[in-house]
Each structure stands twice: as C-alpha cells, then as structure tokens.
Homo-oligomer: A and B are copies of this chain.
Amino acid sequence: MKISIIGSGNVGSHLSIAFENHHHQIYEVFSRQKSKASHLASTLYQAATKTDLDFSKSKAELFILAVSDDAMIEVCAKLILPENAILAHTSGGTSLEDLQKLMLIHHDLPVKCAVFYPLMTFTAGKKLDLKDVPFCIESHDEETEQKLVGIAQELSNVVYLISSEERKALHVAAVFACNFTNHLLALAKGITDSEDLEFDLLKPLIRETFRKALATENPADVQTGPAIRGDETTINRHLDYLKEDENLVEIYEIMTESIQNI
C-alpha cells in the first residue's frame, strides 16, 4: 500500500520504518518543520518531502496523521486529500468523532476517517520491535477498519478494535501506569541523590516490583509497604524525613491514603 505520513515525531518515524519493513511504500512525509520531514524522508527508501498539506494529487491511499493533539486542528484545517483516501490518526486522546468533525468543517470531499493507535511510549532514535505493541483500530467504515486491522497485524501480534471511549480510558490508564510511575522513579532518584547514594541500589527492587506486578492478576494483590500494613511508626518517620519538601510530603500523604482506601 502507498502510505503518506503527516508528522515526523517519534510515532511517525517509528511507524514509517515499520511500514517499509513490511513492504509498504512511504510515498510522502510532511512535517511543519521542513528539516524534520526531510530528515525522516532521507532514512526511507523513496519518500518525498512534502512542504504543504495539499495532497490532492498524491497517489497515497492511506494518510497517517501522527501530530500532537494540539496541532491536529491546524493541520486538519489545511489538509487536502485525494478522493477515497483513508485518514488515520495515531492519538490516544482524540476521538474518531473529533477527527471527523475537523475534516467536515473544512472540506466537502468525503474522507474515510480512522484511528490507528499504537499503545506504546516511543523514544527518538531508538528502534523498537512493534510485534508486542497493542494496536487500537477504529473506523465507522467497515472496509477501512478491515484494511487497517490487516496492516496492523503485519506489524504486531496484538491488534484490537477499540472504541473512542475505550481508547480514552486506556490513554488515562497509560498516564498512571507509564508517565506517573516514571515520575515516581525520578523522585526516588532525587531522594538517593540527596544522600549521595547510587540510584543503582534501588534497581533490583524496582525490577522485582514490576516483575511481580505484571505477573499477578491485579497489582493491588501484591501491594507491600508501610501504607498497606498500616505501619504508622514508619509512615510518620518518612514524613518527618521529607518535611523540608512540600511536594514530596503531599505525594507521600495522598498515595498512602489512596493505598489504604483502595
């Protein structure tokens, strides 16, 4: 299939390479920053760098919209696609309806809107095997949905039809499970730094924590620590230790309370 990529950030780059590896042709790459588009295009087999959003003469059948949620309004306003093209966004947080509305406001031509959302955190420049990455597909057009499921199944063993409402829940849950947990690890590193201790000391514990949480049916079943034990002596000692840092005290208190109330 001929595919064009709109947006050359982490998601756009990773998907482009994966599509090429599965014998699809990346036809065009657009980015609001031209240098990023041409850089990505240069790593691909024969993709052209596109500097505007008029794709009316494009031979691509599928347009992957991999821009930030904030940029989507601006991009959709200018986007012109060939007849019968599929436009699939890759965002966890934007509903299919929102994309359809954005396209309907500005365009007469019918476009087949869809969602092609890989539930993963991508890092620039780091290759990542997509075969275990869940792909969440959605479209109101059944033929489009089946086409996207087919392409996703080439990339990954885990492909789901997920509604916009379900995807929103997944996106929120991912913020707790990924972004917030990473931040707690950063805070823990700050605490060890303050005593000139190596963060490495905590790594075996962190590895075991996650191994255990992922091996169980519900992480709540393997909760440990002073909060779940109701060990007030230790909790008060910890709060006393943290007392100079209002932010850490607040997080400690609210997480302790939440553990005790679950």
Contacts and interface: CB of A to CB of B under 8 A. Distances in A.
A169 interface: yes
A183 B255 contact: yes
Copies of this chain, how many? 2
B184 A234 contact: no
B121 A224 contact: yes
Interface in A202-253: 202-210, 212-214, 218-220, 222-229, 231, 233-234, 237-238, 241-242, 247, 250-252
Contacts of A224: 121, 178-179, 182
A45 interface: no
A252 B179 CA distance: 11
A93 interface: yes
Contacts of A179: 223-228, 255, 259
Given A170-B192, A189-B219, 6 more contacts: A93-B226, A177-B202, A182-B212, A183-B262, A185-B219, A187-B258
Interface of A: 68-70, 93, 119-121, 123, 128, 132-134, 158, 160, 162, 165-166, 168-192, 194-195, 197, 199, 201-210, 212-214, 218-220, 222-229, 231, 233-234, 237-238, 241-242, 247, 250-252, 254-255, 257-259, 261-262
